[in-house]
Structure 1
Amino acid sequence: MIITIGGLAGTGTTTAAELLSEKMGIDYISAGYVFREMAREHNMSVLEFSAFAEGNDDIDKEIDKRQAELAKSADNLIVEGRLSAYFVEADLKLWLVTPFDIRSSRIAERESKSVDVASEEIISREKSEALRYKDIHNIDISNMSIYDLIINTGTFDPEKVSEIILTTLKVI
């Protein structure tokens, strides 16, 4: 069983992947994990590698390629990342959504900043990412047609989200 979990910042993709991994007893990987691994390979800190990756489309392409390769070599795996569903052949492709104000609050709390600052950063980051995804991969991140299941994590707590996913897996 290969599962992808995507969503914008603050929707709970990492929390969902971790909880589902624990409940199902299977591993998960994230785009962030692959990014950190690549930084180590280049003998750079994550911050150094992040600066190096800016404007270098090959880094984004390599992250996507590695996630797809890891999924191909696994029988069971959860792959967490914003674009994972586009590059990983999966049995179930999930997208998590959450109202903007809830996402802003989550990120503000997680990163110890004001909700206003978090909101501004989210808007800026998402505009930039949408342009990059379109330029690099010709992907419209707002197109939800690729996903099998979309869950509003603003409505459900993490435990309920995992129950919804597990129930869905029973009917696949």
Structure 2
Amino acid sequence: MIITIGGLAGTGTSTTAELLSEKLDIPYISAGSVFREMAAERGMSVLEFSEFAEGNDDIDKEIDKRQALKAKQAENLIVEGRLSAFFVDNADLKLWLVTPFDVRSKRIADRESKSVEIAKDEIIVREKSEALRYQEIHNIDISNMDVYDLIINSDSFDPERLSEIIIQTLKVI
């Protein structure tokens, strides 16, 4: 079974992927972790690397290529990332998580030990940068939800309940 999980920063995609991986006993890969690793390799923050990536299409292409290839080679895999659903053709379920901006900002502020106001400013810059890159590189409008099978507000459910909703959905597909 191949599952993609996407969502903007702070929606809980990583938490959801990890929990599902444990409950379903299948591995997961994360575009975010690959992106963060690539930023660290260059000695940059995620924000700096995101801005740098605006001028370097190879970064986005490499992340997408790695995820799509791993999904094609796997029998069971959870692929977490904003664009995963667009590149993983063999997914059985394509999931998108949404969460109110203020909640996302608080989650990121807590996770990264910064103020909510700084997190909000950085999210706005990062998401504009990413949306521009996705459109220019892949001709993908990140706000287009047509590719997804299931869209869930992750603020409405704790991670445990959210994972149960997804597992129940998998039983009917």
Within a 5 Å distance, the mapping from 1:3-152 to structure 2 comes to: 3-35=3-35, 44-45=41-42, 47=44, 50=49, 53-89=53-89, 90-152=91-153
- What is the TM-score normalised by the length of structure 1? 0.91
* Equivalent pairs, count: 169
Alignment RMSD (CA, Å): 2.0
| Inter-partner Cα distance in structure 2 for 1:8 and 1:32 | 11
The one-letter code matched in structure 2 to 1:60 is D
- Report the secondary structure of 1:163's partner residue: helix
Of all paired residues, the percent bearing the same amino acid is 76
1:93 to partner: Cα distance: 0.2
- What is the TM-score normalised by the length of structure 2? 0.90
1:114 to partner: Cα distance: 1.0
Contact 1:34–1:66 (Cα < 8 Å) also in 2: no
Unaligned runs of 5+ residues in structure 1 are none
The one-letter code matched in structure 2 to 1:14 is S
- Other-structure match for 1:155: 156
Q: Deviations over 1:60-99 (max 9, x none)?
A: 1111011000000000000000100000020100000001
Contact 2:4–2:95 (Cα < 8 Å) also in 1: yes
| Inter-partner Cα distance in structure 2 for 1:106 and 1:66 | 28
Contact 2:54–2:129 (Cα < 8 Å) also in 1: no
Unaligned runs of 5+ residues in structure 2 are none
1:159 to partner: Cα distance: 0.5
